[in-house]
Amino acid sequence: MKRPYQKPSLAHEEQIARLRSRGMRFPDEKTAQFYLQHINYYRLRAYWLSFEVDPQTHLFRDGTEFDEVLNRYIFDRELRLLFLDAIERVEVSIRAQWTYHFSRAAGPHGYLHAEIKTDRNKARRLKNIERLKTEVKQSSEAFITHFKASYSEELPPIWAVSEIMSLGSLSRWFRNFTPPHIKRNISRSYDLHSDVLDSWLQHLTHVRNLCAHHSRVWNRELTITPMTPQSKPVQLDGEFQKESRKIYNTILILLYFMDKIAPQHSWRDRLISLIRTHHIPTHSMGFSTDWDTRTIRANPSTPNAEEFNR
C-alpha cells in the first residue's frame, strides 16, 4: 500500500550530518557545503550509490570521502561533453549523406514524395511533414527566411530542411521514410548495414538526449541499446559487449564513426585521458577487464587511426 511522502527538507549542514552519520568523510566541510549549494543533494546521490554497502541503511563502505563522489560527478559531466562533441560531428555527417543521396536519387523535394509501402508509414510521414512545416514557420535561420521570401513551395529542399532537423527527426526520417536503396547508399558511406545504421542512429539520439539534459551516463543502464553488427564492419567483430546496456558500446560506435569522418581526431586520446585522470572504474561503464589491450580501428590504413589505448 502506498504511503504519503513525509521526508523533510534538510539544510546543507543537515545534509552533511546525515551523510557523515552513514560513514562518509568530509576532509573539507566548507567545500562540501559550497558544492551542495550548487549541485542538488538528490542529483549527487546517484554518484554515491556505488559507495554504499547496504541499500537499506545507506551505510557507506569504510574510507568513502565526499571528494570521491564529487570526482565521479565531474567525470560524468566531462564525459557527457565529450559525447556531445562526437555526436555533433556524427549528426552533421549523417545529415550530409542523407541529403546528398536522397536528393541525387529523388530530387530536391523527393523526401516529400518518395514511395512508401505501408499505410502506417504514409500516415507517419504526413504527421512528420506537418511537424516540419511548423519548424520551418518558427525558424529564424537566414536561409529559411530567404527561402520563404523567394519561393512558392511550403517546405525547403532537402539540403535546407535537414539543417533544422534534430537528430531524433533525422533518425525517424531515415528509418521510416527513406527508400531501402537510398538507405543502402548512405550506409555504404560508413561500411555499415542499413539496419545497423538505423539502430545506431536511434541509440545515439537516446544518448544525445541524456547528455543534453545533463543526465548521468557513466554507469547508466541504457534503455535503447544499439544493434550488434554481424558481418561488417570487421573492425568491430568481437568488440561489442553483447546484451550490455552500459555505455561501452556507445563509445565503440563513436570511435568507429570518428575514425571514419575525422581520421585526424583526438577523441580517443581525450577519452582515455579523462578516464585515467579521474581514476574511474571502467567496469561500471561496461568495459571488459582487458579493454586496454583491445584496439578499435575504422580502417587499419587510415592515418592516425591509433590504438584504443596507446
* Digit-coded pLDDT (tens) for 48-77: 999 999 989 999 999 999 999 999 999 999
In a domain, 2, yes or no: no
212 and 111, same structural domain?
yes
Residue 189 lies in a domain: yes
Same domain assignment for residues 93 and 194: yes
Within a domain: 87: yes
Inside any domain, residue 310: no
Task: Work out the pLDDT band at 12, boundaries 50, 70, 90.
Answer: very high
pLDDT of residue 310: 34
Task: State whether 141 and 278 are in the same domain.
Answer: yes
Residue for grid cell 592515418: 303
Q: Considering 39, 64, 89, which residue would you say is the last residue of a domain?
A: 64
In a domain, 134, yes or no: yes
- Which pLDDT score, from 0 to 100, does residue 296 have? 56
- 151 in the same domain as 56: no
Give the whole-angstrom CA distance, residue 254 versus residue 86: 6
**pLDDT above 70 coverage of the chain, percent:** 95
- The tally of domains found in the chain comes to 2
> What is the pLDDT at residue 90?
98
Do 45 and 180 lie in one domain? The reply is no
Q: 58 and 184: one domain?
A: no
pLDDT tens digits along 263-274: 999 999 999 999
Q: Does a structural domain hold residue 46?
A: yes
Are residues 40 and 87 located together in one domain of the fold? no
| The last residue of a domain, from among 9, 38, 64 | 64
More confident residue, 295 or 82: 82
Model pLDDT, residue 295: 59
Residue (of 206, 207, 184, 208) closest to 197 by Cα position = 184
Report the share of the chain in percent with pLDDT over 90.
82
**Mean of the pLDDT values across residues 233-248?**
86
Residue 104 sits in the same domain as residue 234: yes
Q: What is the spatial distance between Cα 200 and Cα 90, in angstroms, rounded to a whole number?
A: 11
Residue 298 is predicted with a pLDDT of 41
Q: Both 41 and 90 in a single domain? A: no
What are the two backbone dihedrals, phi and then psi, of residue 102, each rounded to the nearest 5 degrees? Answer: -70, -45
Say if residue 209 is in the same domain as residue 230: yes
Residue 238 belongs to domain spanning = 74-293
Is a pLDDT exceeding 50 seen at residue 305?
no
In the predicted structure, residue 113 carries a pLDDT above the cut 60: yes
Same domain, 172 and 39: no
Looking at residue 188, its amino acid is R
CA dist 127 and 174 (Å) reads 15
Residue at 13 is within a domain: no
Average pLDDT over residues 217-242: 89
Q: Is the pLDDT of residue 119 over 60?
A: yes
pLDDT at 232: 81
Residue 15 lies in a domain: no
**Quick one: 160 and 109 in the same domain?**
yes
Given a cut of 80, whether residue 297 has pLDDT beyond it is no
Name the amino acid, one letter, at 103.
Answer: S
Mean pLDDT of 18-44: 96
